[in-house]
Structure formats: C-alpha cells, structure tokens
Structure 1
C-alpha cells in the first residue's frame, strides 16, 4: 500500500473539515455577512420565481425596490443621494456572483440595466440632477438605463452615429439606440451622442428624461435569452 496524501493536488471542499478549508484572505466579517444576505435573498425571493418571470417576459417592479433595500445599487454613491457613501469592489463582485446563480440570467440583467447608469450620473451629472434622481434610482423606485448600442454598429462606441446639436440654448439629439436593457420601463436615460468630430473624443453623455418631447421607444421581440429583461429601441 502506498500513501499518496503528499501527491494530492485537489480535494473538493465538501471532503474537508471547516478548519482545513482554504480561507479567502480578502474576506472580512462585513463581506461574509453581505454574501450570506444576498444568497439567502436569491434562494427565497428569486429562485422560486425565476422561471415564471422569464416566461412572462418581465420581473415585478417591486423586485427593483427589494434589491435596492439590500444596498447593492448604492456603491460609490454619496449617502445624501441614497447611496452607501463607500465602495467595495469585492462586494460588487459578490453581488454579481450570487445573483448569477438565481436560475435565469435575465433577472440580474433586468436589475443591472438600471444599475449601470448610476455611475455616470454620480460622476458626471450636476448637483441638481444627482439630488433629484439618484435617490429614486438607487432605491429602485424609478428606472434608468444607459444608451450606447446602436442599430448601425452594435456597441462600437467610437463609431457612434447618434448626434447632439446645440441649438437655441439646448441640445437636440438625433438618432436611435437599440438593445437597451430596461428601455421600456426606465424613467431616465444616460445617452451617448456625437457632439464634435470622429472617434471617441467626439462623444458626450446626456441625461435624458423619458418625458422629453421627441423621445419614443419600442420593445424588442422575444430574444434567444434574457426573456425577463426588457430591452428596447430608443428614438430621438
């Protein structure tokens, strides 16, 4: 009989005692507790409903608010605007990991359609816009989307065709966006448009209220996946 323990290269954690399991050196009590909170939420609130929501083609809007109450939309956002007043990229990664295990990736896609617009607003919008809209977006009371992808070039940002022309004290946007997640339910949009010259240097970002005259949107047909993540084509 030959003892092979010294040659063991891998052993599943289920075969190890808690004392022998490798510890993540970046874990803190707060990060471990955050992961448990998210895992419990996904198991109780999302997994039992994920297939039903996917078949229905939408998630209930109150899910945005329930997820907002977990604080996941508040990373990097000031407390006065409804955020956490801090950022933690390990916790951001934890959110993505735990919600990806819900059984239908359209669910986190639908939620993240709102979240990916938060950082541009937090970083670039003026104080009036931040104080007016961020508390509602971060909490999930209202929706917001990022509009970059276009029918003519997908996500080729440098080749963006949508334009914004300054006229009589305001900007007039002309063009369209497509595959915009949350596009049919969002109240606000961060829209990329060309203001000057070719390439990336000629692109600016605009905050657009869905109630702005001249704006319209249409839903995309049922996709290959992400059924419960509403996506739309936007027209300006």
Structure 2
C-alpha cells in the first residue's frame, strides 16, 4: 500500500477492516471452504461495520461516499489475508453489481433495493454468462418477452458467483434479435416463481465461493424491475467494466503480496541441507524478482485507483491493469509454491490455496486474451 494514495481517515478505516478480516473472516474460511459457501451472516456483519454500499445516498441508508479508495481497502485487506472467496463476494456486492442498482435505477427502485445492499440483508449477484456464451455478450440467449406489465423470462445462466447467497440478481436478457440493442437488464428477486438454482458448481479453487447454475422457466418479472429502457442492456453492462476490472486487479495484487510475504517467512524458517532455504541464491533471486514485480504492480494499481477516483480510468487502461495484475498473481503463487517444495502441495499450507484460487483470475471479468484485444483496438490495430 502506498501511503501517498490514502489519507489518515483511510488508514484508520484500513485498521478496522484488517481487524474484521483477522477476527471474523480468516478463522471461518476453512469451514466455508468445506461447506462450499460463505456464511450469509458475513454480509450483515460487514454491513454493521459500514463496509458495504459506500456510494449509496443517505436517504437510502448509505453513507453517500463517492471515494473508491474505501472499496479498494476492503478488497485489499480481504485478499491479502488469503480469503479470495470472500474477496469476490465483497467485490460483487460493492464494485460490480451495486453500480447497476445505484446508478441505473429510478427513485422508486432505489427505495426498494438500496437499503438492503447497505445492511447486507440483500446480497447481490449478476447473471450474464450462459452455458454457450462467455465473453461474447451478443451471444446471450435468455429471452424476456413483454406481456402486459411483465416480462416472461426463459433461459439459463451458469458460473454465477453469489448464486446461492444472492437474493437480488441483475439478469441480462434478450428482448430482440439485434446483437447490441437487443439486450435488456432485469432485476430479479431470488424467490420469484420460475427462478431455480441448480447445483453448487465444484471448482478447482475458490471452494468457499458459492457458484451456481440458474434457470428461468416462464418467470414473470415486472416491467417495474427493468433497469433503464428496453434494449440498453449491452451498453449498461459495458459501462461498468473498468471498475469491475479495477476491483479484480486490487484483489490480484493484494493476494500476490500476501502469498509473497507468507513465503518469505517460510523460507527463513525451513531448512534444507542443514541451512535455511532463504540462504540459497536461487531463493534469493526468485524473491528479489517477485518483490520488484509487486512494487511495479502496486505503483500501477495505485495510479489507476487515483485515476478512477477522478473519473478518468479508460477501458483500455483497465484492461492493461487487469491482464497484467492477474497474470502476475498466478505467476507469483506458482513460484512461491515451488519454494515450499512438497509442502506447498499440501492443503494445510496457505500457498496451496493461493495457487488454485489464483487460476480463475485470468479468466473471469474478461480473459487475458480479451484484455489484449481491447488494448490492441485502443492502439488502432
């Protein structure tokens, strides 16, 4: 963390978040890994401490704070401690889904949905990905057909984070055949008739993060639950991508820093051939390289946070940051595991979880290949 990026109020807030992570999240994370789902009470406990809904206006129960550095501190502290699944949950709640509910809604919708997002009683999720559609939003096939004051929704989604804990979903639907002007976003309560949750998907990492399949069968959603006008969904989804990718990058850099410092302590204590592993030149060179790369990443990240706070983070720069930081996270976890030797392959060691949890980072939120395509287009090629 660069102190020049944060003032004294941010540093005090960071201490409070650090204590919350240390006392509430870290001790329970292994249990959540076994259950395959975070405890839903995590959200309400976070809400009590004021860790949710920073930009929500006071009239809807929020603090009305338009300062992304508070978002960054929450994601940073949770991920630095090796709690990637909880980090994803907070990222979704504050950074990814909340902007849709906070910025694209009318006053009546705000009054219905925003207070719960601040207290944590409402857990947010977004349903875009479908069994046959990943990064290509134009391939979405879930249909929403207007019928009076309702839309009748049919289709399915997959890989939905917060899929079981979530009780308010932003669902991307197709309302016409136009690739870009045919998408419409609907907000759906999790107890709506016709809404079904499938199995909790088994992943190689992020075991504590509930990831669900969703299906919609003749599900009736009121037109009053539509975000904006019909056909604006594609552009609504794209507008929030820089913040989403910034949030993922914060988690990536923090997680990499966390596993690096854990490994630094390990190699100082672990002995091989009668002396600490840290005394071998290869160990020293590897850790020197990682420390330098992390310094570079943190500098880049802090600059992007400041830029985003001023409203100037472009999609191309967010793409640069996202692919670089997430690839660095995986590379760092891989190299740190190697320095642990056989013990690194044991689940009881934090580095093993850091390794498997890091793998998804270069895929969701836009794959590394998609990020490079965005950058290439920005270069005019």
Structure 1: 5+ residue stretches without partners: 1-21
Aligned to 1:91: 70
TM-score, length basis structure 2: 0.53
**Deviation at residue 117 of structure 1 after TM alignment:** 2.2
Higher relative contact order (CA 8 A, sep 6+): 1
The yes-or-no answer on 1:59 pairing with 2:38 is yes
Q: Give the secondary structure class of the aligned counterpart of 2:52.
A: coil
The structure with more helix, counted as a fraction of residues: 2
C-alpha spacing 1:23/1:218, structure 2 compared with 1 (3 Å) = closer
C-alpha spacing 1:70/1:200, structure 2 compared with 1 (3 Å) = farther
Deviations 1:187-221 (Å, cap 9, x if unpaired)?
Answer: 22111111233333321110112222221111233
CA distance in 1, matches of 2:161, 2:2: 37
Deviations 1:214-234 (Å, cap 9, x if unpaired)?
Answer: 211112332111111111111
Aligned to 1:44: 23
C-alpha spacing 1:29/1:164, structure 2 compared with 1 (3 Å) = same
Deviations 1:86-122 (Å, cap 9, x if unpaired)?
Answer: 2112221121111102323112223444443222011
Q: 1:82 aligns with which of 61, 75, 82?
A: 61
Deviations 1:120-142 (Å, cap 9, x if unpaired)?
Answer: 01112232222122111221113
CA distance in 2, matches of 1:221, 1:145: 16
The yes-or-no answer on 1:180 pairing with 2:160 is yes
Q: RMSD between aligned alpha carbons?
A: 1.9
Kindly indicate whether the alpha-carbon contact (under 8 Å) linking 1:118 and 1:138 is maintained by their aligned counterparts in 2.
no
CA distance in 1, matches of 2:27, 2:200: 26
Aligned to 1:156: 136
TM-score, length basis structure 1: 0.83
CA distance in 1, matches of 2:153, 2:118: 26
Aligned to 2:313: none
CA distance in 2, matches of 1:36, 1:129: 34
Kindly indicate whether the alpha-carbon contact (under 8 Å) linking 2:130 and 2:158 is maintained by their aligned counterparts in 1.
yes
CA distance in 2, matches of 1:181, 1:221: 10
C-alpha spacing 1:50/1:153, structure 2 compared with 1 (3 Å) = same
Q: 2:118 aligns with which of 121, 134, 138?
A: 138
C-alpha spacing 1:220/1:58, structure 2 compared with 1 (3 Å) = closer
Kindly indicate whether the alpha-carbon contact (under 8 Å) linking 2:25 and 2:83 is maintained by their aligned counterparts in 1.
no
**Deviation at residue 23 of structure 1 after TM alignment:** 6.3
